[in-house]
Amino acid sequence: MSISHQPVMVDESVNYLVTIPGGIYVDCTVGTGGHSFEICKRMAYGGELICLDIDSSSIRLAEERLSSFKDRIKIIKESYVNLDKVLKGLGISKVNGILLDLGLSSYQLESSGRGFSFLRDEPLDMRMGEERGVTASELINTISVEELQGLLWRYAQERWAKLIARAIVEKRQKEPITSSRQLALLIESTIPTKYHPRKIHPATKTFQSLRIAVNGELQNIESFLEKVPLLLQKGGRLVVISYHSLEDRLVKRAFRSWEKKEIGPRKLPVFHQVHPPLMKESKKGGLRPGQAEVKANPRSRSAIMRTGERV
Ligand code: SAH
């Protein structure tokens, strides 16, 4: 199978990440290995790259693509939430750089057969790691109409959340919703045509919110961000690439809290900042892909990259 996925902001991210060619690095979401390939190219003798992903089929593709770097790479099927445990198991306490490229890969969207795309007719699964937790189909066929509505609003700000949630519940009383096409058609016919968004498919937000819910994506990011500074050496670097504002907000907030541990009453400036900063963000506001990249790879258009260093 050919690899359709183009790594996003690959030069910007890898140039910042790799400071010492003989250092130890982590790619938390190897996918089909786009970023990892570039990281390997910049590493020298003694350098080591640890790659994680929860999707076995992506890992197989990454293994193939990265086979010429076998000597410096370890690919492990594990969630990045457990990065601390993975490193401990390898006898590593701190690393020189950690990359987290969020979202899903074009490979998963187009070729995994798991119902990520509203343009295809596939079983409505949406689990990134094939065997973890409930599928999107199980989710929408069982939860209450209020929970459905809440999820569509919380994870995608879908303005038609109430209407869509009701339509799903009504539909599932007749037959279970089991395919991506079935769901996409249901939403298309539920949102009045004159209100269909102009630039995106009317089912875009529903699909996004289900994917986030099924994979616990925001919880994963939060629990990763709680642990990550302590896994970096002094001067070690963190790069996070997000694809929507809910993800980016968590990263932004984390950088803010690392820079300024506000403990103690605000009135007393002496006690105000008890802890020295843990990490420093390198560019406030984050970085966006250039025009040329967005044109060549539309998937990159929503990307925002935040980078920082352990101090
Ligand atoms: N940078 C990669 C693309 C990453 S796409 C490349 O250039 O090819 C995002 C990847 O994150 C997907 O492969 C997905 O399976 C993986 N992923 C999602 N949740 C994860 C988790 N909790 N732990 C590890 N990987 C995860």
Per-residue pLDDT of 267-289, as tens digits, reads 555 555 567 889 999 999 999 99
Rounded Cα–Cα distance for residues 307 and 311 (Å): 13
Distance 224 CA to ligand 1 centre (A): 14
Ligand 1 pocket test, candidate residues 6, 54, 222, most atoms within 8 A of CB? 54
Helices and strands (H, E) in the chain, number of each type: 14, 7
Give per-residue pLDDT as tens, 148-169. Answer: 999 999 999 999 999 999 999 9
Q: At what angle do helices 34-42 and 10-17 cross, to 10 degrees?
A: 40
Cβ of 31 below 6 Å from ligand 1: yes
Predicted pLDDT of residue 253: 96
**pTM for this structure?**
0.94
What separation in angstroms does the CA of 62 have from each of 3, 79, 161? 9, 16, 37
Rounded Cα–Cα distance for residues 208 and 210 (Å): 6
Residue nearest to atom 2 of ligand 1 (CA): 31
Predicted pLDDT of residue 130: 77
